[in-house]
Structure 1
Amino acid sequence: MAKKLAIGLDIGGTALRAAEVSSDAKGTKVELQRYAEIPLPLNAVRDGEVMDAATVVQGLKALWAKGGFTSKDVIMGVGNQRVAVRPLTMPQLPMEQLQAALPFQVQDLLPMPVEEALLGYYPTTSISGADGSPAFDGMLVAAARETVLTNLQVVEAAGLNPVVIDLAGFALLRIMARGALSGGTVAFVDIGSRGTSVVVATDGMPKFVRNIPNGAQDLTDSFARATGISLEEAFQVLRTRGLAATDAAEYQGAAGPFGGTVRTLVDGIRNSIAFYASTTPGAPVTTVVLSGGGAFVPGLGQAIASTTRMRTVLGNPLEGVQVSKQVREADALRGREATLAMTIGLGMGVAA
């Protein structure tokens, strides 16, 4: 089957990233055609929502100039505390009819009024309904309308054309649940700057999605506050020493508050997986796969493995992916491949 190109755009808490991806229908043949990223100042984007529109618009224009992308059509991701994902069984109808029926079916499942939400449905399995008629098991996605529209307006102001809004958790699964990780029950955990996505999949199909409001930047903030050093210095210390930073004499006074922030993040991941296990006893998670910038904090993976008592590995979204010679930052990506997971997964969303 012929490949198609698509561009995934990730508006993160500390950076803008875009990846132009070609992929076949099964996601087995994937090529990263172009990639670029631009750093953002802190709080320009907070909890997945653009707060400083002018800065982000300028950053997006610089991103396109830097990446040399062949189109301005983009696939955007959503995934924060204002996005709810719930299991839902629906009649087996054409997708247009399913989508139209959602507002009348889901109010009791949402943490927000239906009129304030953008709704989507992702069918995962064909089943027989309670009356024997064909039905879907699947996942309801509800995103706060205000947050999504704000980000859309910023992207359009930068001269780009958003063609699809995709759930960040599905994008993560699309690129990571491949090869050896496509079978069994696996928890994919993407630790971003201000949030963490936990997606549990069985044989590559999503079964559970949760967004945690804590990430790597929270660790940096906590360490900087507790030690009185700058955020930049705190970042450099954590990047090299990781969770063991408080073993150094000059930072031992930070052990309590910094350790509390680490526990909040690690416990959020553990509790998410435990909740899934309590509701789905027949398919226990066997492996935790880490991605995102926070996955590179030394010692964090070990802390997650110890707390969850599960095999925990660093994922590589570029495994089995051909990287084009047109990728200008290929050398700079070595050693931090896991930061690309969400962006490449978004690019695979309609690439097939």
Structure 2
Amino acid sequence: MTWHLWRRRAVGIEFTRTGCRCVAVRFSSRGPEVLGAIEGELADGNELQATDAFVGQLRDFSRRHRLRNCRVVIGVPSERVTVRLLKMPPLPDRALRQAVALELGETIHLPFDDPVFDVVRVPQLVADDPGDEVPVCLVAAPRGYVQWALQVVRSAGLRPRAVDLAPLARLRAAGPDAWQAAGVRVLLQLDDADTTISVVAGGALYFLRTVENLSNGVDEGTVVDGRLADVAYEVDRVIKFFQFNLAGRELPVDGVWLAGLLSDEAAAAARLSGLLGLPVQPLPAEVVWRRGAAVNHSAAYATAVGLALKGGFP
């Protein structure tokens, strides 16, 4: 019988600056297994337009792996997301969201108009922090972009169930040890066009910054010292801003997780560690690729895998 197979499968679709990556994941007693993956480019680079060819590719992928009724989770590019750590009164969820909505455009300013947003409660990083306010994260993205991404997926006959953040998805793909790790860490995602720096603790995202590459491009497997120096400079700025402007004190940072380009280069990790004075270690994805489904550079699909894992096992 095959009617129930869709219940054990999920789809992660990561939109990037210039393209899209999609994976189909099957859940079993042995853990998540990637059945297949595809990658497509978006028309006109980062313009809000998808090629008919990519939508057709996604539709064929869905048909081949029987994904039509599966849970689908979409990832929005980090450069289109704003994350703000706020201190708010301890209100019920609905009242908290209403209070934040009232502040948008007044005391909370975003780099885009007409946002779609969510308010997420996060753990208090400073146990003895005085005051009655509690920390929450405002997560916002342009409504037009989110609606466009949803429409692209729906055009392929799939049903999006949730939208998630790329750094959280990448952390989720690394397994429970990384997701549940205590202490403050920096998640560093190096890609061809940009670098995303996230501050995470206990599976929660506290700060997010994406910067375009300042140095020349990096070929995979090649350590470019100039780019690593630029990255270290930006990471140090993010850590200081987080500690003194958001946390209000110099909280210790336990280390840096390195993902994306150069994550398998020991020399790159060692160089960054020396520049930052912090331990730097790669963040591998804990997922099995089905025989015959492996693709070149499978590590590039780790964020899409983490999207598919949102919500846990069916």
How many equivalent pairs are there? 300
- Tell me, yes or no, if the aligned pair for 1:16 and 1:63 is still in contact at 8 Å: no
Partners of 1:193 and 1:276 lie apart in 2 by: 26
Q: Alignment partner of 1:295: what SS? A: coil
Aligned-pair identity in percent equals: 22
Q: Residue 119 of structure 2 aligns to which amino acid in structure 1? A: Y
Does the alignment pair 1:185 with 2:189? no
What is the match of residue 306 of structure 2?
Answer: 345
What is the match of residue 251 of structure 1?
Answer: none
Taking the TM superposition and a 5 Å limit, the aligned residue runs for 1:8-157 are 8-12=12-16, 13=18, 15-20=20-25, 22=27, 31-41=31-41, 45-46=45-46, 50-65=48-63, 67-69=65-67, 71-107=69-105, 108-112=107-111, 116-125=114-123, 132=132, 136-157=134-155
Gap regions ≥5 residues in structure 2 = 1-6
Q: 1:159 aligns with which of 148, 157, 170?
A: 157
Q: 1:171 aligns with which of 169, 172, 180?
A: 169
Question: What's the C-alpha RMSD, in Å, of the aligned pairs?
Answer: 3.7
Q: Kindly tell me: are residues 50 and 290 of structure 1, through their superposed partners in 2, closer, same or farther at Cα, counting changes over 3 Å?
A: farther
Q: Alignment partner of 2:23: what SS? A: strand
Q: Alignment partner of 1:40: what SS? A: strand
Q: 1:276 aligns with which of 242, 259, 280?
A: 242
1:117 Cα deviation from its structure 2 partner:
0.7
- Tell me, yes or no, if the aligned pair for 2:42 and 2:49 is still in contact at 8 Å: no
Taking the TM superposition and a 5 Å limit, the aligned residue runs for 1:256-275 are 263-275=229-241
1:287-343 CA distance string (max 9 Å, x none) = 11112245346754344323322211111121xx5x38xx3456557xx56434312
Q: Kindly tell me: are residues 289 and 261 of structure 1, through their superposed partners in 2, closer, same or farther at Cα, counting changes over 3 Å?
A: closer
Q: 2:285 aligns with which of 295, 310, 317?
A: 317
Q: Kindly tell me: are residues 161 and 62 of structure 1, through their superposed partners in 2, closer, same or farther at Cα, counting changes over 3 Å?
A: same
What is the match of residue 212 of structure 1?
Answer: 211
Larger proportion of helix:
1
- Tell me, yes or no, if the aligned pair for 1:196 and 1:214 is still in contact at 8 Å: yes
Q: Kindly tell me: are residues 317 and 16 of structure 1, through their superposed partners in 2, closer, same or farther at Cα, counting changes over 3 Å?
A: same
Q: TM-score, normalised by structure 1?
A: 0.70
Q: 2:255 aligns with which of 287, 302, 327?
A: 287
Q: Kindly tell me: are residues 54 and 96 of structure 1, through their superposed partners in 2, closer, same or farther at Cα, counting changes over 3 Å?
A: farther
After superposing on structure 2, the runs of 4+ consecutive aligned residues of structure 1 that deviate more than 6 Å are: 126-131
Q: Residue 208 of structure 1 aligns to which amino acid in structure 2? A: F
Partners of 1:35 and 1:110 lie apart in 2 by: 42
Q: Kindly tell me: are residues 99 and 35 of structure 1, through their superposed partners in 2, closer, same or farther at Cα, counting changes over 3 Å?
A: farther
